[in-house]
Structure formats: structure tokens, C-alpha cells
Structure 1
Amino acid sequence: MSLKQYLTSRVFALQVLAAIAILFVLGYLFMHWLTFTTDHGHEITVPDLRKLSETQVEEKLDQLDLDYVILDSVDYVKDYPKHSVVTQDPLPGTKVKEDRKIYVKINSSGFTSVRMPDLIEKTYRQAVPTLEALGLVVGKITYKPYLGKDMVLEMRLDGKKIKPGDKIWKSSKIDLVLGDGKVGFEESEENLDSINAAPSSDEPKDE
């Protein structure tokens, strides 16, 4: 049988169909195997773990075949219970695969203290980033007569004057008393007015 006759024969056609069928079956089986091994189509919604204790987190994630890792503790956040989850990654509502690790950060047991920096005679622009870097909050701003405008004259906490080096809790609101920049000009004007009003020693005296 010539090659041309073989290629046009029924035997060749059946062999081609059989090969196609085998490839189709193998492809079908491979896709099912791939779906099984990658757990395709079976995703888990990450729950909201915030404000839960570590025990509650473990119980909740075990039910969903998920795991967790504590990355670190954060400075005390008063709106969250002590030792509860403050942040998590992935975020709540994210779709993940089975056995995915959820990374969490835990609220510390209480506020940490810092030493009050020396802001006296620093400008307001210098004071703000210094306070924020220490986890403190800028509170009420008041002014009093002073030559240096926006220069820090006093630091107060809950109405009480505090000094550089005093220990205070993080997240405290620090009220600042600043100079209004007017006293120098007012004094200069008053001095000038008094000089103009005074009689000159060079003027002749009435006899």
C-alpha cells in the first residue's frame, strides 16, 4: 500500500480519531488534576479578626482551615481591648486559599510613656513634627504677648504646665502657649511716644 493510499484509508482515519480521543481524555484528566491540586474554585473569605483575642482568632481560623502569625504588638489603642488584634493582612473580606496565613498585630497592654521634649523657644513648625514623632498630639493653641511670633513659651497637659523631661503617656494631647509677636512692636511704639512727649533738654527755658 502506497503512502497516499494509507493516508486516505479508513485505518489511518480511525487511528487519527483514536489519537484525538486519547489527547482529549488526557487533557480532561489533567485539568481535573490541576483543579484538585490547586483547589481551584474553592476560596475562603477572610473574617474580620479585629478586637478579637488570640484564643478567639485561633478558634475562628481553625474552623476555616486558615492559620495566623503574630507579627508584633502596637502601641496601646484605647478603642481596642488589651491584647486584641488591631490590624490584619489580608484584610477582612479577601478571598484566599486553604491554609493561608493571616498576619496580625496585637494591641499592647497599656500606654507607653515618653519624656517630654524641650520645645521652649522652638517655633510651632518645629514643635509639631517633634511631638508627632513621639506619638504625642498637638492640642489647644493659645497666645500671649511675646516678641517671637509662634515661638513656644509653655507646654501644658490637662491644664497643668509640664517641663522638658517629664514622663507622659503616648497619645497625650499637649497644649502649647505661643508668642503673638506683638509685644516688641507695642513696647517700641510706647517708648517712641514717651520720647516724643518729653521736653527736649536743648529747648530754652522760660525765664
Structure 2
Amino acid sequence: MSWKKFLTSPVFFKNLALALVIVAISVFGVMKFLSVATNHGEEIPVPNLAKMSLEKAEERLSDIDLELHLLDTVDYNPAFPPYSIVEQDPLPAVTVKDGRKVYVKINSGGYAKVVLPELVQKTYRQALSTLRALGLQEGDVKYVEYMAKDVVLEVKQNGKTLKAGDKILKSSKIDFVLGDGKTGFQDQEMDSINASEQLEPAPAEEENAE
């Protein structure tokens, strides 16, 4: 059979069609393999891990081919269970490729303790500023007679007097006993009256002088 007849024969067209099918299948297979190998077009939405334990979050991420990575423990937040996740990166609903690490921070097991500094004889404004910087809260304020106004005389918690160096839990409420500033003015007024009486001559002495 000549080439001309072969190229126009049904056998040639049959072989050509078979070859094209094989090439098409091969190309499709290679593209599919590359797509899987490079995760092309495959994105996974990151779930919300807030308030989950590390174990539960790790299982949740493992089911969707993501990895959990613990960054740090943060100060206790009462809005979250102890040792639960409070922060994550990427954020929930952000889409990522499989194998991506999700970084998390967990809640502490409870409030930390702070050392109470010396607050007695400081002004109320100074004491309050120090209190807030330590993560403590202002409680009740009581005034008693004292010559200086708004000076801290006592610091208390649940009725117990505190002193510098005591350790108390963060977010605790601290009560203050302050001076009312009235006693000093009364004493000064009495001293002025007494001084005036001493300076005035007695009536008998004035008659003798005449």
C-alpha cells in the first residue's frame, strides 16, 4: 500500500483518532497531577478556634489538613475559659492552602498576682493611677476626719487592711480610706480663737490702768 492510499485509508484515521485520545488523556492526567501537587485552586477557610482547647483545635485543623502552632499564653481574660484559645492568625473565614500553620494564643488559667506598693500617705489620684497600672480596680471609698484631704490613710480588701508588699490577684477591687480635710481647719480655727483671747486685755487690768 502506498503512503497516499494509507493516509486516506480508514485504518489511518482510526489510528490517528486513537493517538489523539491517548494524548488528550495523558495531558489531562499530567494537569491533574500538577494541580494536586501544587494545591492549585484549592483553598480552605480557616475555622473559628475561639474558646476551644488546644486538643480540640488541633483535631479540628487536622481534619482539614491545617496545622496548629502555639505562640504564647496571654493574661487571663474572664470572657474565655482557662487555657482556651483567645487569638488566632489567620483570622476565621480567611482562606488558605492546605498544610498552612494557624498560630494561636491561649488564655491563662487564672489571674496573676501583683505586689501592692506603698499607697498610704499618697494622694488619692496618685494611688488610683498606680492601682490601675497594676490591673487592679477601685472599690469603695470612705472618708474619715483627717487634716489632709484625699490623702490615703488605709487600703483594704474585703474588710482586711492591706500593707505594702502584700500579693493580691489582678482585677481585685481595692477599697480606700481617705482623709476628709476637715479636722485641720477646725484646729486652725480654734487656735486662732485662743490666740485672740490671749491677746485681749482682761477687764480688771483695763480699770486699774485708768
TM-score between the two structures when normalised by the length of structure 1: 0.68
- C-alpha distance 125-44 of structure 1, shift in aligned 2 (>3 A): farther
Aligned to 2:72: 72
- Residues 1:89 and 2:89 aligned together: yes
| Number of the residue aligned with 2:201 | 202
CA distance in 2, matches of 1:86, 1:51: 6
**2:98 corresponds to:** 98
**Alpha-carbon distance in 1 for matches of 2:169, 2:139:** 14
Larger Rg: 2
Are the equivalent residues in 1 in contact too, given 2:39–2:98 (CA < 8 A)? no
5 Å-filtered alignment, 1:175-186, equals 175-186=175-186
Q: Map 1:97-136; keep pairs closer than 5 Å.
A: 97-136=97-136
With 60-69 and 86-95 compared, the bigger mean Cα shift is at: 86-95
Say whether 1:190 aligns with 2:181.
no
What is residue 169 of structure 1 aligned with on the other side? 169
One-letter identity of the residue aligned with 1:202: P
Distance 1:125 1:38 in 2: 60
* Distance in 2 between residues matched to 1:168 and 1:83, nearest whole Å: 21
Pairwise CA distance, 1:93: 3.5
- The 10-residue stretch of structure 1 (161-170 or 53-62) with the greater mean CA deviation from structure 2: 161-170
**Whole-angstrom CA distance in 2 between matches of 1:154 and 1:72:** 38
Pair 1:62–1:121, CA change in 2 (3 A) = same
Q: TM-score, normalised by structure 2?
A: 0.67
CA–CA distance in structure 1, aligned partners of residues 135 and 96 of structure 2? 35
**Counterpart in the other structure of 2:143:** 143
- 1:115-148 Cα distance to aligned partner (Å, 9 max, x none): 2211111222322332233332222233223333
RMSD over equivalenced CA pairs, Å: 3.0
Q: Secondary structure at the match of 1:150?
A: strand
Structure 1: where are the runs of 5+ without partners? 1-32
Superposed structure 1 runs of 4+ greater than 6 Å apart: none
Q: CA-to-partner distance for each residue in 1:58-97, whole Å, 9 max, x for gaps?
A: 0111223322221111233334322211222333333444
Deviation of the 1:101 alpha carbon:
2.4
Q: Mark the CA change 1:162 to 1:192 in structure 2 (over 3 Å): closer, same or farther.
A: same
> C-alpha deviations, 1:29-63, integer Å up to 9, x for none?
xxxx89x95744x4433322122111111011122
Partner of 1:27: none
Unaligned runs of 5+ in 2: 1-33
Q: Please name the residue that 2:47 is paired with.
A: 47
